[in-house]
Structure 1
């Protein structure tokens, strides 16, 4: 659709009732004013010193490492899952598609603490898988950095899957058919045709998954705890700092907000613009 066509459609659309405008303004203020308060109260003069403290730098490094690892896991697991969801839909298995997709979406609506409890019951020392894993291999996952990555992957995976599924559903599947006609195997077609076609969706999903993983708190503190240098990520550090060092909590919150803004700018036109310009 051309810009002229979109502009013409905008001029023809009827605006909202005037009575709704004040409510819309209140909604915008409700979302914006907390961020404004954060900016106003930020300790700008001491920001560098606060963020340079060993504990803060340690939690920042751990957060970046764990969120990056969780994003890689989301890509490895999410792309095949998204592809299978689209394949089920194309094959007419709508019931299976709806059931699996519902499970994929559960972490989006599940309270993060509940997700942490569920992971603990699965992978804890007395968990369904954790108990035999500890007895046979002597491996315990909770309260380790691995537990942080697992918790972040659990809450971030739906973002990757939904982004890639949408990209796959909107891709021109005739190119896959053409590759198959020319004798390409399914694996070759997937690697050399399908993945490049949906690369923008993969990138968008990966960025969203990274942002969600970086900001994860509830599942992480429940499943991984708050061990300095091991499981204490930036959100946990900010939460603990509010009790005795509010300036540090504000500085960390400001940093996390900056990351969110950068991600929104990077995804402009895909998830926050309606349509690409």
Structure 2
């Protein structure tokens, strides 16, 4: 078992080691400071932040619905929510294009009525990122809702609190660590999105060329710059995950730290 586990670790770690060894550390500041890299970085951070905001807006209510097994159709809804996790991202991009393209199911009518075309815009980047990253947030928040102590909510309802008050003042504060963890995972997944973005939004500098697309573009023309951007993305992702682990995961239901604290009480 130890040998098999070591092989698993090697599969995950050795590619990153190779990336770090190939990094031109001396030229890294200059490569990262290139205007094209900074442009792609700003676009990636902006769209990933917007995608996370949209995911929070619709994902938290969706997780609340999924956490109630007594509602009809919840199992089917949960299966639909998890489809983007197993669907190739490029297929998601094709699906978005067929939905919102000028000849798409909804995009044709939208363009005819308003003249607005969604594909190959920054909005398309955000929608592609939401499509692939929303399930991470929903499942994290659903797990937190299921693991939360419902006795406080029941006590508040018994004392006459309205459902809205219970949701705002009791339920959501109790699952805040789960929401934060889901948002962090959602952000990092959106930051690294490639397949759906390149299919639905294209790769136009300053508009839709995010960091992953810029890395792919630079692999043929400027390999050192591609490596530098890859290291930058790796650093951003690791920073988010380290912050997530240290501050939030320890308090999530089912983790040792959270269980220990509850047991000590």
Superposition misfits of 4+ residues, deviation over 6 angstroms: none
2:229 corresponds to 1:244: no
Q: Decide which of 234, 242, 262 is 2:211's aligned counterpart.
A: 234
Q: Report what 1:34 is aligned to.
A: 15
Indicate how the Cα distance of structure 1 residues 101 and 29 shifts in structure 2: closer, same or farther if over 3 A, else same.
Answer: same
Deviation at 1:230, TM superposition (A): 0.3
* SS of the residue 1:165 aligns to: helix
* Other-structure match for 2:35: 54
Task: Find 1:147's aligned residue among 124, 147, 165.
Answer: 124
Q: Which runs of 5+ in 2 are unaligned?
A: 259-265
Offset at residue 92 of structure 1 (A): 6.1
Within the alignment, does 1:266 sit opposite 2:247 as a pair? Answer: no
State the match for 1:137 in structure 2.
114
1:69 aligns with 2:46: no
1:275 Cα offset (Å): 2.8
Asked if structure 2 preserves the Cα contact closer than 8 Å seen for 1:238 and 1:253, the reply is: yes
Could you tell me which residue of structure 1 aligns to residue 263 of structure 2?
none
Bigger drift between 152-161 and 25-34 goes to: 25-34
1:174 matched to which residue of 2? 151
SS of match in other structure, 1:268: helix
Separation of aligned partners in 2, 1:217 and 1:101: 25
Farther-moved stretch of structure 1 (180-189 vs 107-116): 180-189
- Write the deviation string for residues 179-218 of structure 1: whole angstroms up to 9, x where unpaired: 2222222112111111101000000000000000000000
Map Cα deviations across residues 125-150 of structure 1 (whole Å, 9 max, x no partner): 11111000000111110000000000
1:253 pairs with one of 216, 227, 230: 230
Provide the TM-score with structure 1 as the length reference.
Answer: 0.88
RMSD across aligned positions (CA): 1.6
Deviation readout 1:86-120 (Å, 9 max, x if unpaired):
12x1x264xx2211001000010000000000000
Count residues with an aligned counterpart.
254
Residues of 2 paired with 1:32 and 1:86: CA distance? 35
Name the larger-Rg structure: 1
Query: Is the partner of 1:228 in helix, strand or coil?
Result: coil
Distance 2:195 2:71 in 1: 38
Q: Using the alignment, how far apart are the partners of 1:123 and 1:84 within structure 2?
A: 27
Q: Out of 122, 139, 150, which is 1:162 matched to?
A: 139
TM-score (norm 2): 0.92
Partner of residue 204, structure 1: 181
CA distance in 2, matches of 1:43, 1:106: 39
Note if contact 1:268-1:276 (Cα within 8 Å) is conserved in structure 2. Answer: no
